[in-house]
């Protein structure tokens, strides 16, 4: 093997192999994924409000902004944080979303059992949030930034049990909130990765 190709046993032995192109490629891929999921998240929200009936989805509809376990919307100061910190928060939110989306899907399966496309989109969203979260975590690791490490499992069973006994209207509002949070966080992730992507300000 030539010096140009480097030593396979010790990738860092030859500094002519730069990890940067791989990192850039990874960031770009993850950014593209986030952009795609932002579009899907918007579609999910539109599909969701359609099935809940008016006034869900009407302009000016402002249901109570109920807090959701383990997750809030991106804070106003988020954009002012260093990029690695923003990505850590993005990753944490993306990890919290799948069980919430699962709960919403189960409740919607009872309320709107024939809304197959909605149910499929909710299932896909949970998978996509996991995938994007894992990709962001990989980018953070490649950047040498700390990730959050293991976190306690969300109380999905408790949340699910609570929504079953909750009234239908609060369940509809909760679902709207979760879909909204999903859209906000994938959009936020796209913007944060855009700072790192080639051609971005970072």
Q: Which is nearer to other proteins, 33 or 87 (CB)?
A: 87
Cα separation, 202 vs 187, in Å, equals: 18
Chain-centre distance of CA 19, in angstroms? 26
Q: Which is nearer to other proteins, 26 or 183 (CB)?
A: 183
Among 27, 83, 87, 92, binds other proteins (CB under 8 A): 92
Beta bridge partners of 68: 71
Among 13, 141, 168, 202, binds other proteins (CB under 8 A): 168
Q: Which is nearer to other proteins, 6 or 63 (CB)?
A: 63
CA torsion through residues 56, 62, 64, 67, sign: positive
| 3-class secondary structure, 68 | strand
CA angle 99, 101, 107 (to 5 degrees): 105
**Residue 114 touches other proteins, criterion: CB under 8 A:** yes
Only one of the segments 1-9, 126-134, 172-180, 192-200 lies at the binding site for other proteins (rule: CB under 8 A); that segment is: 172-180
| Residue given tokens 């996509």 in the structure block | 128
Q: Which is nearer to other proteins, 53 or 199 (CB)?
A: 53
Among 68, 122, 140, 197, binds other proteins (CB under 8 A): 68
Q: Which is nearer to other proteins, 5 or 110 (CB)?
A: 110
Closest CA to 200 of 67, 192, 39, 183: 192
Task: Quote the least distance from Cβ 14 to other proteins, whole Å.
Answer: 37
| Residue given tokens 């359609």 in the structure block | 50
User: Tokens in use for 7?
Assistant: 């030593």
Chain positions contacting other proteins, by CB under 8 A:
51-56, 58, 61-75, 77-78, 81, 85, 89, 92-93, 103, 111-114, 148, 151-152, 154-155, 158-159, 162-163, 165-170, 172-174
């Amino acid at each position: 093997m030539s010096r140009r190709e480097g030593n396979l046993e010790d990738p860092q032995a030859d500094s002519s192999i730069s990890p940067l192109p791989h990192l850039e490629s990874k960031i770009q891929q993850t950014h593209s994924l986030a952009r795609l999921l932002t579009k899907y998240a918007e579609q999910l929200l539109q599909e969701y409000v359609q099935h809940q009936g008016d006034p869900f989805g009407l302009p000016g509809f402002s249901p109570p902004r109920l807090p959701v376990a383990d997750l809030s919307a991106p804070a106003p100061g988020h954009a002012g944080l260093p990029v690695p910190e923003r990505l850590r928060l993005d990753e944490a939110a993306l990890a919290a979303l799948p069980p919430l989306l699962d709960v919403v899907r189960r409740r919607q399966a009872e309320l709107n059992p024939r809304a197959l496309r909605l149910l499929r989109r909710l299932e896909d969203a949970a998978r996509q949030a996991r995938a994007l979260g894992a990709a962001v975590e990989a980018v953070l690791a490649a950047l040498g930034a700390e990730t959050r490490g293991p976190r306690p499992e969300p109380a999905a069973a408790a949340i699910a049990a609570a929504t079953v006994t909750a009234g239908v209207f609060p369940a509809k509002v909760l679902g709207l909130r979760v879909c909204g949070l999903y859209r906000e966080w994938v959009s936020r992730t796209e913007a944060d990765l855009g700072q790192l992507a080639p051609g971005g300000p970072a």
